[in-house]
Protein backbone atom coordinates (compact mmCIF):
# COMPACT_ATOMS: atom_id res chain seq x y z
CA UNK A 1 0.00 0.00 0.00
CA UNK A 2 1.40 3.40 -0.98
CA UNK A 3 1.83 6.32 1.43
CA UNK A 4 -1.05 8.16 -0.23
CA UNK A 5 -3.32 5.12 0.12
CA UNK A 6 -2.47 4.86 3.84
CA UNK A 7 -3.25 8.57 4.31
CA UNK A 8 -6.56 8.21 2.49
CA UNK A 9 -7.44 5.21 4.65
CA UNK A 10 -6.71 7.18 7.84
CA UNK A 11 -8.82 10.12 6.63
CA UNK A 12 -11.75 7.86 5.74
CA UNK A 13 -11.59 6.27 9.20
CA UNK A 14 -11.67 9.56 11.15
CA UNK A 15 -12.82 12.23 8.73
CA UNK A 16 -9.54 14.10 9.14
CA UNK A 17 -6.01 13.52 10.42
CA UNK A 18 -3.52 15.74 12.23
CA UNK A 19 -0.45 17.16 10.53
CA UNK A 20 1.55 15.06 13.00
CA UNK A 21 -0.08 11.80 11.90
CA UNK A 22 0.23 12.79 8.24
CA UNK A 23 3.98 13.31 8.65
CA UNK A 24 4.49 10.14 10.71
CA UNK A 25 2.71 8.02 8.09
CA UNK A 26 4.71 9.65 5.31
CA UNK A 27 8.09 9.35 7.03
CA UNK A 28 7.87 6.12 9.01
CA UNK A 29 5.11 3.79 7.82
CA UNK A 30 6.48 0.29 7.27
CA UNK A 31 7.89 -0.50 3.81
CA UNK A 32 6.51 2.60 2.07
CA UNK A 33 7.38 5.47 4.46
CA UNK A 34 10.31 7.62 3.35
CA UNK A 35 12.69 6.28 6.01
CA UNK A 36 11.65 2.64 5.56
CA UNK A 37 11.31 2.23 1.79
CA UNK A 38 13.96 0.10 0.09
CA UNK A 39 15.17 2.98 -2.04
CA UNK A 40 18.88 2.83 -2.97
CA UNK A 41 19.91 6.02 -1.16
CA UNK A 42 18.17 8.66 0.94
CA UNK A 43 20.94 10.92 2.26
CA UNK A 44 23.87 12.19 0.19
CA UNK A 45 24.46 13.64 -3.27
CA UNK A 46 22.58 10.73 -4.84
CA UNK A 47 19.85 10.82 -2.22
CA UNK A 48 17.07 13.29 -1.47
CA UNK A 49 18.99 15.59 0.87
CA UNK A 50 22.46 15.95 2.37
CA UNK A 51 23.65 16.42 5.96
CA UNK A 52 26.91 17.66 7.46
CA UNK A 53 28.42 14.20 8.24
CA UNK A 54 27.91 13.25 4.58
CA UNK A 55 30.03 16.23 3.50
CA UNK A 56 33.03 15.92 5.80
CA UNK A 57 34.41 14.10 8.84
CA UNK A 58 35.16 17.56 10.28
CA UNK A 59 31.64 17.71 11.69
CA UNK A 60 32.23 14.60 13.81
CA UNK A 61 35.64 15.89 14.87
CA UNK A 62 34.05 19.17 15.89
CA UNK A 63 31.40 17.48 18.07
CA UNK A 64 34.03 15.27 19.66
CA UNK A 65 36.19 18.28 20.51
CA UNK A 66 33.12 19.90 22.05
CA UNK A 67 32.71 16.79 24.22
CA UNK A 68 36.43 16.64 25.08
CA UNK A 69 36.45 20.29 26.12
CA UNK A 70 34.36 19.17 29.12
CA UNK A 71 35.95 15.73 29.61
CA UNK A 72 39.59 16.31 28.55
CA UNK A 73 41.07 13.40 30.52
CA UNK A 74 38.53 10.75 29.64
CA UNK A 75 39.80 7.20 29.03
CA UNK A 76 36.56 5.32 28.30
CA UNK A 77 33.25 6.39 26.78
CA UNK A 78 29.83 5.04 25.83
CA UNK A 79 28.57 6.56 22.55
CA UNK A 80 24.83 7.01 22.00
CA UNK A 81 23.60 8.51 18.74
CA UNK A 82 19.98 9.40 18.01
CA UNK A 83 18.91 8.97 14.38
CA UNK A 84 22.27 8.09 12.79
CA UNK A 85 21.19 8.05 9.16
CA UNK A 86 23.89 6.31 7.13
CA UNK A 87 26.14 6.10 10.20
CA UNK A 88 28.98 8.39 9.12
CA UNK A 89 28.80 10.63 12.20
CA UNK A 90 29.35 7.81 14.68
CA UNK A 91 32.03 6.32 12.43
CA UNK A 92 33.90 9.65 12.33
CA UNK A 93 33.60 10.13 16.09
CA UNK A 94 34.75 6.55 16.71
CA UNK A 95 37.82 6.96 14.51
CA UNK A 96 38.74 10.30 16.06
CA UNK A 97 38.46 8.94 19.60
CA UNK A 98 40.62 5.95 18.63
CA UNK A 99 43.27 8.34 17.28
CA UNK A 100 43.36 9.90 20.74
CA UNK A 101 43.68 6.49 22.42
CA UNK A 102 40.25 6.78 24.05
CA UNK A 103 38.45 3.47 24.45
CA UNK A 104 34.88 3.30 23.15
CA UNK A 105 33.35 0.72 25.47
CA UNK A 106 29.95 0.58 23.80
CA UNK A 107 28.04 2.09 20.89
CA UNK A 108 24.26 2.40 21.17
CA UNK A 109 22.04 3.65 18.37
CA UNK A 110 18.46 4.92 18.66
CA UNK A 111 16.83 4.26 15.29
CA UNK A 112 13.44 3.03 14.06
CA UNK A 113 14.10 3.07 10.32
CA UNK A 114 14.63 -0.44 8.98
CA UNK A 115 16.58 1.05 6.07
CA UNK A 116 19.07 2.90 8.26
CA UNK A 117 19.42 0.03 10.74
CA UNK A 118 20.80 -2.05 7.86
CA UNK A 119 23.19 0.77 6.93
CA UNK A 120 24.46 1.05 10.51
CA UNK A 121 25.03 -2.69 10.81
CA UNK A 122 27.11 -2.63 7.62
CA UNK A 123 29.39 0.16 8.84
CA UNK A 124 29.52 -0.55 12.59
CA UNK A 125 28.66 -4.23 13.25
CA UNK A 126 29.36 -3.86 16.98
CA UNK A 127 26.70 -1.15 17.45
CA UNK A 128 23.62 -2.03 19.49
CA UNK A 129 20.45 -0.71 17.85
CA UNK A 130 17.31 0.22 19.79
CA UNK A 131 13.96 1.72 18.84
CA UNK A 132 13.17 2.69 22.44
CA UNK A 133 15.47 4.85 24.56
CA UNK A 134 14.24 3.13 27.72
CA UNK A 135 15.96 -0.07 26.61
CA UNK A 136 19.44 1.44 26.41
CA UNK A 137 21.44 0.49 29.52
CA UNK A 138 23.80 3.10 30.93
CA UNK A 139 26.66 2.48 33.34
CA UNK A 140 26.96 5.58 35.58
CA UNK A 141 30.65 4.85 36.05
CA UNK A 142 31.33 5.27 32.33
CA UNK A 143 30.98 8.71 30.74
CA UNK A 144 28.20 8.76 28.15
CA UNK A 145 28.32 10.95 25.05
CA UNK A 146 24.81 11.53 23.63
CA UNK A 147 24.69 13.24 20.24
CA UNK A 148 22.57 13.70 17.13
CA UNK A 149 22.37 15.67 13.91
CA UNK A 150 19.10 16.55 12.18
CA UNK A 151 17.21 14.12 14.39
CA UNK A 152 14.50 16.14 16.13
CA UNK A 153 13.34 17.78 12.89
CA UNK A 154 12.01 14.43 11.62
CA UNK A 155 9.45 14.18 14.46
CA UNK A 156 5.88 14.92 13.48
CA UNK A 157 4.31 18.00 15.09
CA UNK A 158 0.72 19.06 15.44
CA UNK A 159 -0.10 22.51 14.10
CA UNK A 160 -2.56 24.94 15.66
CA UNK A 161 -3.93 28.21 14.36
CA UNK A 162 -4.83 31.06 16.72
CA UNK A 163 -8.42 32.18 16.15
CA UNK A 164 -10.62 34.28 18.42
CA UNK A 165 -8.23 33.96 21.39
CA UNK A 166 -7.94 30.17 21.23
CA UNK A 167 -6.03 27.51 19.33
CA UNK A 168 -7.82 25.35 16.77
CA UNK A 169 -5.97 22.35 15.36
CA UNK A 170 -5.04 22.37 11.68
CA UNK A 171 -5.98 19.01 10.20
CA UNK A 172 -6.13 17.37 6.79
CA UNK A 173 -9.24 16.05 5.10
CA UNK A 174 -10.23 15.05 1.57
CA UNK A 175 -13.33 16.43 -0.15
CA UNK A 176 -14.30 15.61 -3.74
CA UNK A 177 -10.90 14.00 -4.27
CA UNK A 178 -9.10 17.15 -3.13
CA UNK A 179 -6.96 17.45 0.02
CA UNK A 180 -7.81 20.40 2.22
CA UNK A 181 -6.67 21.95 5.50
CA UNK A 182 -9.44 22.38 8.06
CA UNK A 183 -9.50 23.97 11.53
CA UNK A 184 -11.03 21.97 14.36
CA UNK A 185 -11.65 22.73 18.02
CA UNK A 186 -9.55 20.73 20.47
CA UNK A 187 -9.36 20.08 24.20
CA UNK A 188 -5.87 21.40 24.86
CA UNK A 189 -6.21 25.00 23.70
CA UNK A 190 -6.05 26.30 27.29
CA UNK A 191 -3.01 24.11 28.01
CA UNK A 192 -1.21 25.49 24.95
CA UNK A 193 -2.06 29.07 25.93
CA UNK A 194 -0.57 28.41 29.37
CA UNK A 195 2.49 26.54 28.06
CA UNK A 196 3.35 29.38 25.67
CA UNK A 197 2.14 32.20 27.91
CA UNK A 198 5.30 34.24 27.32
CA UNK A 199 4.11 34.85 23.76
CA UNK A 200 1.29 37.08 22.57
CA UNK A 201 -0.51 35.42 19.69
CA UNK A 202 -2.53 37.18 17.03
CA UNK A 203 -5.20 35.70 14.80
CA UNK A 204 -3.77 33.40 12.09
CA UNK A 205 -0.53 32.81 14.03
CA UNK A 206 0.61 29.18 13.79
CA UNK A 207 1.88 27.15 16.75
CA UNK A 208 3.68 23.82 16.33
CA UNK A 209 3.95 21.37 19.21
CA UNK A 210 5.09 17.74 19.18
CA UNK A 211 3.81 15.30 21.79
CA UNK A 212 6.23 12.80 20.25
CA UNK A 213 9.18 14.99 21.23
CA UNK A 214 7.62 15.48 24.67
CA UNK A 215 7.57 11.71 25.17
CA UNK A 216 11.22 11.35 24.13
CA UNK A 217 12.33 14.16 26.43
CA UNK A 218 10.62 12.44 29.37
CA UNK A 219 12.64 9.29 28.63
CA UNK A 220 15.82 11.30 28.11
CA UNK A 221 15.50 13.00 31.49
CA UNK A 222 15.56 9.57 33.11
CA UNK A 223 18.88 8.84 31.41
CA UNK A 224 20.60 12.17 31.97
CA UNK A 225 21.64 12.05 35.61
CA UNK A 226 25.41 12.44 35.85
CA UNK A 227 28.65 11.75 33.99
CA UNK A 228 27.29 12.61 30.54
CA UNK A 229 27.57 15.09 27.69
CA UNK A 230 24.66 15.84 25.36
CA UNK A 231 24.90 17.65 22.02
CA UNK A 232 22.38 17.95 19.20
CA UNK A 233 22.47 20.04 16.04
CA UNK A 234 19.44 20.83 13.91
CA UNK A 235 17.66 23.39 11.77
CA UNK A 236 15.58 25.44 14.19
CA UNK A 237 14.91 28.59 16.18
CA UNK A 238 15.17 30.12 19.65
CA UNK A 239 11.97 32.17 19.39
CA UNK A 240 8.67 30.89 18.03
CA UNK A 241 8.29 31.98 14.40
CA UNK A 242 4.48 31.75 14.75
CA UNK A 243 4.23 30.31 11.26
CA UNK A 244 4.51 26.87 9.71
CA UNK A 245 8.06 25.48 9.55
CA UNK A 246 7.03 22.28 7.74
CA UNK A 247 9.41 21.47 4.87
CA UNK A 248 9.01 18.89 2.11
CA UNK A 249 12.11 17.74 0.21
CA UNK A 250 12.50 15.28 -2.65
CA UNK A 251 15.61 14.88 -4.80
CA UNK A 252 17.17 17.98 -3.19
CA UNK A 253 14.19 20.12 -4.22
CA UNK A 254 11.38 21.67 -2.21
CA UNK A 255 7.92 20.21 -2.78
CA UNK A 256 4.55 21.80 -2.02
CA UNK A 257 2.14 20.11 0.39
CA UNK A 258 -0.09 17.58 -1.45
CA UNK A 259 1.94 18.02 -4.66
CA UNK A 260 3.45 14.55 -4.28
CA UNK A 261 3.16 11.79 -1.68
CA UNK A 262 5.83 9.16 -2.39
CA UNK A 263 9.54 9.52 -1.50
CA UNK A 264 9.07 12.84 0.29
CA UNK A 265 11.05 13.80 3.41
CA UNK A 266 8.95 15.88 5.84
CA UNK A 267 10.63 17.89 8.59
CA UNK A 268 9.98 20.79 10.96
CA UNK A 269 12.11 23.54 12.45
CA UNK A 270 13.21 22.50 15.95
CA UNK A 271 12.21 24.61 18.95
CA UNK A 272 15.55 25.05 20.75
CA UNK A 273 13.94 27.32 23.32
CA UNK A 274 11.73 24.38 24.30
CA UNK A 275 14.72 22.01 24.52
CA UNK A 276 16.61 24.55 26.60
CA UNK A 277 13.69 25.00 29.02
CA UNK A 278 13.35 21.24 29.49
CA UNK A 279 16.98 20.87 30.59
CA UNK A 280 17.55 24.23 32.27
CA UNK A 281 18.96 22.58 35.42
CA UNK A 282 22.02 21.66 33.32
CA UNK A 283 22.42 25.25 32.03
CA UNK A 284 22.32 24.40 28.30
CA UNK A 285 24.30 26.43 25.80
CA UNK A 286 22.86 27.19 22.36
CA UNK A 287 25.12 28.35 19.53
CA UNK A 288 24.92 28.42 15.74
CA UNK A 289 26.60 25.73 13.67
CA UNK A 290 28.98 28.44 12.42
CA UNK A 291 30.00 29.14 16.02
CA UNK A 292 30.34 25.42 16.66
CA UNK A 293 33.07 25.14 14.03
CA UNK A 294 34.72 28.36 15.11
CA UNK A 295 34.89 27.22 18.74
CA UNK A 296 35.89 23.57 18.33
CA UNK A 297 38.05 23.28 15.22
CA UNK A 298 41.63 24.46 14.94
CA UNK A 299 44.57 23.81 12.63
CA UNK A 300 45.94 21.12 14.92
CA UNK A 301 42.77 19.10 14.43
CA UNK A 302 43.21 18.22 10.77
CA UNK A 303 45.99 17.44 8.33
CA UNK A 304 44.22 18.38 5.09
CA UNK A 305 45.03 21.44 3.00
CA UNK A 306 43.97 24.53 4.97
CA UNK A 307 42.23 26.20 2.01
CA UNK A 308 40.20 23.07 1.36
CA UNK A 309 39.32 22.81 5.05
CA UNK A 310 38.22 26.46 5.11
CA UNK A 311 35.95 25.82 2.13
CA UNK A 312 34.48 22.77 3.85
CA UNK A 313 33.86 24.68 7.08
CA UNK A 314 32.20 27.48 5.09
CA UNK A 315 29.99 24.89 3.42
CA UNK A 316 29.08 23.21 6.70
CA UNK A 317 28.52 26.62 8.27
CA UNK A 318 25.63 27.26 5.94
CA UNK A 319 26.61 27.98 2.34
CA UNK A 320 25.65 24.45 1.27
CA UNK A 321 22.33 24.68 3.12
CA UNK A 322 20.76 27.72 1.43
CA UNK A 323 22.90 30.00 3.64
CA UNK A 324 21.06 28.76 6.73
CA UNK A 325 24.20 28.48 8.87
CA UNK A 326 22.76 30.72 11.55
CA UNK A 327 19.54 28.69 11.56
CA UNK A 328 21.40 25.44 12.15
CA UNK A 329 21.71 25.50 15.92
CA UNK A 330 23.53 23.36 18.44
CA UNK A 331 22.48 22.81 22.04
CA UNK A 332 24.82 21.17 24.52
CA UNK A 333 24.83 20.49 28.25
CA UNK A 334 26.44 18.09 30.66
CA UNK A 335 26.89 16.82 34.18
CA UNK A 336 30.18 15.53 35.55
**What are the pLDDT digits (tens) for 158-185?**
999 999 999 999 999 999 999 999 999 9
State yes or no: pLDDT of 247 exceeds 60: yes
Sequence-distant (6+) residues with CB within 8 A of 181 are 170, 171, 172
Q: Are residues 71 and 118 in the same domain?
A: yes
Q: Are residues 187 and 291 in the same domain?
A: no
Backbone dihedral region of 54: left (phi > 0), alpha (psi from -120 to 50 degrees) or beta? alpha
For residue 38, the model assigns a pLDDT of: 75
Question: How far apart are alpha carbons 3 and 14 in whole angstroms?
Answer: 17
Q: Tell me the whole-structure pTM to 2 decimals.
A: 0.91
- Mean pLDDT to the nearest integer, 106-131: 94
State yes or no: pLDDT of 205 exceeds 70: yes
Domain span including residue 272: 52-154+210-335
Number of domains in the chain: 2
Q: Are residues 222 and 279 in the same domain?
A: yes
Of the pLDDT bands very low, low, confident and very high (cuts 50, 70, 90), residue 124 is very high
Q: Are residues 167 and 150 in the same domain?
A: no
- Mean pLDDT to the nearest integer, 290-307: 75
Nearest to 88 by CA among 46, 115, 45, 58: 58
Q: Are residues 66 and 77 in the same domain?
A: yes
- Mean pLDDT to the nearest integer, 305-310: 64
Share of the chain above pLDDT 90, in %: 76
Q: What would the DSSP string read from start to end of 133-180?
A: GGG----TTSEEEEEEES-GGGS--EEEEEETTEEEEEEEEEETTEEE
> Bigger pLDDT: 307 or 121?
121
Q: Are residues 181 and 301 in the same domain?
A: no
Of the pLDDT bands very low, low, confident and very high (cuts 50, 70, 90), residue 48 is very low
Of the pLDDT bands very low, low, confident and very high (cuts 50, 70, 90), residue 19 is very high
> Can you give the CATH number for the domain in which 298 is found?
3.40.50.12710
**208, 240, 270 - which closes a domain:** 208
State yes or no: pLDDT of 331 exceeds 50: yes
Averaged pLDDT of the chain: 90
Taking 3-state DSSP, the helix, strand and coil percentages for the chain, each rounded to the nearest 5, stand at 35, 25, 40
- Mean pLDDT to the nearest integer, 22-32: 91
> Bigger pLDDT: 28 or 252?
28
- Mean pLDDT to the nearest integer, 98-106: 97
Would you call 194 exposed, middle or buried from its count of C-beta atoms within 10 A (0-12, 13-18, 19+)? exposed
Nearest to 239 by CA among 186, 203, 202, 277: 277
Q: Are residues 272 and 194 in the same domain?
A: no
Question: How far apart are alpha carbons 301 and 309 in whole angstroms?
Answer: 11
Amino acid sequence: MSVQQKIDLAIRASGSISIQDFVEISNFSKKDGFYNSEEIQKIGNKGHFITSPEISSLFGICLTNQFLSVFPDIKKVHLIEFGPGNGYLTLDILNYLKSKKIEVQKISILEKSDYFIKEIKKKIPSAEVFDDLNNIKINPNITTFFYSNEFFDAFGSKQYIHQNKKFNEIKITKINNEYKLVYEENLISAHLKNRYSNYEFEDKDILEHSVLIDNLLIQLKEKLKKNFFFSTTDYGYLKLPRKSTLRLISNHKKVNLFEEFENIDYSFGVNFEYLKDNFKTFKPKVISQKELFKNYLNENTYSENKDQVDKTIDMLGGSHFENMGDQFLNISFYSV
